[in-house]
Structure 1
Amino acid sequence: MMDAPPPNLQNEPPREEDEGPKVRVHPPTVMFAALVAGFLVRLYAGGSLPLPRALAEGLGGFLIILALGILMAATRAFNEAGETLQPNTPSKRLLTEGPYRFSRNPVYLAMMIFGAGFGIATSNVWIVLTTALAGVILHFFAIKPEEAYLERRFGDAFAEYRRRVRRWI
C-alpha cells in the first residue's frame, strides 16, 4: 500500500498536452553571466563598494551561506516531491512546504542572495548591479511564465498559494 502524498502537495499526474512552462532563459546561466559581467566591467571600469574589507567579507560570506542553505532546502523539497529543477518540465505537484512556505521562488531567491553576497564579499559594486539586472531578467523570462503555467496547471490551489506566499520574500 502506497502512502498518500502529504496534504501540502497537489499530486496530479501531468496531462499529455502539458508541456510545462515556456521559460525562455536558463536561470543558472543568467546568474553566471551576471557574475562574469560584473567581474569584467570592474576590470575595465573599477568600482568598489565603500565598506571596510572585514565587514564586506563577513556580510558577503553570511549572504552566500544563507543562499546555499535556501538552495539546499529547496532542492530537498523538489527531490522529496519527485520533481526536477529543470524549469521547462511539467509539474506533478505544487510545492508549498519547506522554503516554499515563505517564497514562491526560493531557488531564484537563493541565486539573487548568492550574487549579492558574492558582490559584497569581493567589494564589487558591478556584481551587485548585474545581479539585480539578472533578477529582473529572471522575473520576466522565467518567473512570470512559470507562474502562468502553475495557474493553468493547478488553478485554485495555486491562486490560494499565491495569495498566502510572496513571490520573493
Structure 2
Amino acid sequence: MNFLHLKIPPVIVLLFFITLTAAAKLHFATMEHLGIAPLFFAVCTLVAGVTYIMLGVWQFRKARTTVNPLAPEDTSQLVENGIFAKTRNPMYVGFALLLVSWGCFLSTFAMPPCVILFMVYMQYFQIIPEEKILTVKFGDAYLEYMKKAKRWV
C-alpha cells in the first residue's frame, strides 16, 4: 500500500485544495466579467455540497457505522440506501462541490484544474484503498453494490 493511502484526512486534503485554488487565482484569468453568474453558481453548489455531506453523515450515523475515512475497516455495515444508492462517496462528492463553489466565489478559472486534481487525489489515495478494504470486509455484497452505485455521481 502506498504511503499516502488513507493517511491524510479528506478534510485536510480539501483545505489544501481550497488554499491552492485561492493561490492559483493570482495566475489565472478571472470570471468577474460574467457578473453575478459565478456567485449564483457558488451558492447553488455550496448548498448541494453541504447537502451531500450532511446526508452521507446522517445515513452513516443512522446505520451506526463509522464516519472515520481513515478507518474503513471499522465499518460495521454496508449502507446502500438513500444518497448511497446514487453515489458510494457522497461526502467526497460534497467536498468536490464545495471546491467548485469556492472557485466560483473567487471567480477564477483556476477552479476546474484544482477540482480535477482534488478528485484524482481522492480517487487514488482515499477511495480506491477504501474500496479494497470494503471488498475484503463485505465480499460479494460490496461488489454488487459497486455495480449499482457510481463511485462519484
TM-score relative to the length of structure 2: 0.89
Count, aligned residues: 147
Q: Distance in 2 between matches of 1:62 and 1:99?
A: 18
> For the residues of structure 1 that align with 2:103 and 2:13, how far apart are their CA atoms?
16
Structure 2 match to 1:168: 152
Task: State which structure, 1 or 2, has the greater radius of gyration over its C-alpha atoms.
Answer: 1
Instruction: Please tell me whether residue 41 in structure 1 is matched to residue 16 in structure 2.
Output: no
Q: Which amino acid is 2:49 matched to?
A: A
Report if the CA contact (8 A) 1:51-1:123 is conserved. no
Match of 1:82 among 42, 64, 80: 64
2:102 equivalent in structure 1: 118
User: Partner of 1:146 in structure 2?
Assistant: 130
Report 1:19-38 matches (<5 A).
Answer: 23-38=6-21
Q: Deviations over 1:129-149 (max 9, x none)?
A: 212211100000000000001
Contact between 2:9 and 2:70, CA under 8 Å: does it hold in 1? no
Question: 1:13-72: per-residue Cα shift (whole Å, max 9, x none)?
Answer: xxxxxxxxx6132211111100101111223x2421376121111111101101111111
In structure 1, the residue corresponding to 2:36 is in which secondary structure? helix
Residues of 2 paired with 1:94 and 1:65: CA distance?
Answer: 27
Q: Distance in 2 between matches of 1:154 and 1:85?
A: 17
Structure 1: give runs of 5+ residues left out of the alignment.
1-21
1:92 is matched with which residue: 65, 76, 83?
76
Which secondary structure state, in structure 2, belongs to the residue aligned with residue 125 of structure 1?
Answer: coil
Q: Which runs of 5+ in 2 are unaligned?
A: none
1:67 aligns with 2:67: no
The answer to whether the 8 A contact 1:37-1:127 is kept is no
Over 6 Å off, 4+ runs: none
User: Structure 1 pair 112/142, CA: closer, same or farther in 2 (3 Å)?
Assistant: same
Query: Is contact 2:31-2:109 (8 Å) kept?
Result: yes
Query: Within 1, Cα distance between the matches of 2:30 and 2:81?
Result: 39
Q: Pick the aligned partner of 2:36 from 19, 42, 54.
A: 54
Q: Secondary structure at the match of 2:107?
A: coil
Higher helix share: 2
